[in-house]
A = this chain, B = another copy of it.
Amino acid sequence: MNKHLTVALDAMGGDEAPAIVVHGAEIARERFPEARFLFFGRESEIKPLLDASPALAQVSTLIHTDDVVSSEDKPARALRRGRKSSMALAIEAVKAGDADVAVSAGNTGALMALAKFILRTLPSIDRPALASLLPTYKGECVMLDLGANVECDASNLVEFSVMGAAFARTVLGLQRPKLSLLNIGVEELKGNEEVKEAAEILRNSDLPLEFAGFIEGDMIGAGSADVVVTDGFTGNVALKTAEGTARLIGSLVRDAFQSSTRAKLGYLMARRGLDGLRSHLDPNNHNGAVMLGLNGLVVKSHGGASISGFATAIGVAIDMARHNLIHLITQDLGGVFMGQSVEDEAPLSNPDKEASSR
């Protein structure tokens, strides 16, 4: 029998909370019979939804709180005033050991600040980062940071590399993932000072990864790297631009198939293959960014995720918890930073500067 895994859910986070959270959990419950759920949020809104789903209710506990972090709240405000919010309580459940992982579709900046404040960063990690899997021609790759850190220096990028490689080893099962730094050219002299310095450090390090130098944006989709590392501003823009391009092409393909009767028939004939393609590219099937670098697991869902998208994020959370990701990253970091002087747990100097939305 599988050991139970408990997922703490911020039931009030996301554009259509709490409905997508509860309905997403319904799907996840069917996929993961070992999962148990803690719902944090307004009882008056959540209870009717749970009552309508007895199978889910049976494996769920509802913890009421009135406080909610809004999508407009600055991280600093969430830290000052949001400590009893559904988001904060879900993270507290991880810290207390009541849950194995927390999932929220709420305000990224607030989530990052609260998670960092409550769970603290791992020894030898300065800045946590948001990582996610992206579809490529060969399968999937890990990309980080996706928006947790707007400004990054070279040592941040190196930390992200270590964490991203550990993530790839765990989730993609690669012993020695191929890692590249995102840049505007592949030659050594290209890019800003931060990426050049990070490349220099990675080239001269003995890390459990294959450092493949720089990668340009057009090679991410080709699957040239298993792990793509960048700062949170660039990573967020790249991720969203890729999503927008996929959506644009989807719309244009739809229009093309409706442009004539012949084309409509053509679509019907090719449908099965095209549906598989759509599924491979659907952002909802890649939803769930993991906050790496904390003493506990927190997964961030897209604020606008669909029900199945939120279920995917819960799936990522369960996967991470099963693999004991934190333990693996800690092991890796121990090996990497042993004997190096890397600052421990930097203070939360100005959380607003580091946070962003996804």
Contact = CB atoms under 8 A, between A and B. Distances in A.
Contact of A269 (B135, B263, B358): B263
A357 B217 contact: no
Given A74-B189, A184-B356, A241-B241, A273 B260 contact: yes
A241 B192 CA distance: 18
Interface in A139-191: 147, 150-151, 182, 184-185, 187, 189-191
Contact of A236 (B137, B147, B184, B280): B184
A246 interface: yes
Contacts of A346: none
B270 A263 contact: yes
A59 interface: no
Which bracket fits the contact residues of A?
Answer: 35 or more
A131 to B, nearest CB: 16
Copies in the complex: 2
Interface string A259-290: 11011011111111110110011000000000
Contacts of A277: 249, 252-253, 255-256
A255 to B, nearest CB: 8
Contacts of A265: 266, 269
B244 A220 contact: yes
A187 B242 CA distance: 21
Interface in A343-358: 352, 356-358
A234 interface: yes
A327 interface: no
Contact of A221 (B135, B147, B244): B244
B270 A256 contact: yes
B247 A274 contact: no
A235 B251 CA distance: 24
Given A260-B272, A273-B259, A217 B191 contact: no
Contacts of A238: 217, 237-238, 241
Q: What 4 pairs between A and B have smallest CB-CB spacing?
A: A266-B270, A266-B269, A217-B240, A221-B248
Interface of A: 71-72, 74, 135-137, 147, 150-151, 182, 184-185, 187, 189-192, 216-222, 230, 232-234, 236-249, 251-253, 255-257, 259-260, 262-263, 265-274, 276-277, 280-281, 352, 356-358
6 contacts: A137-B252, A184-B356, A222-B244, A256-B273, A257-B270, A263-B273
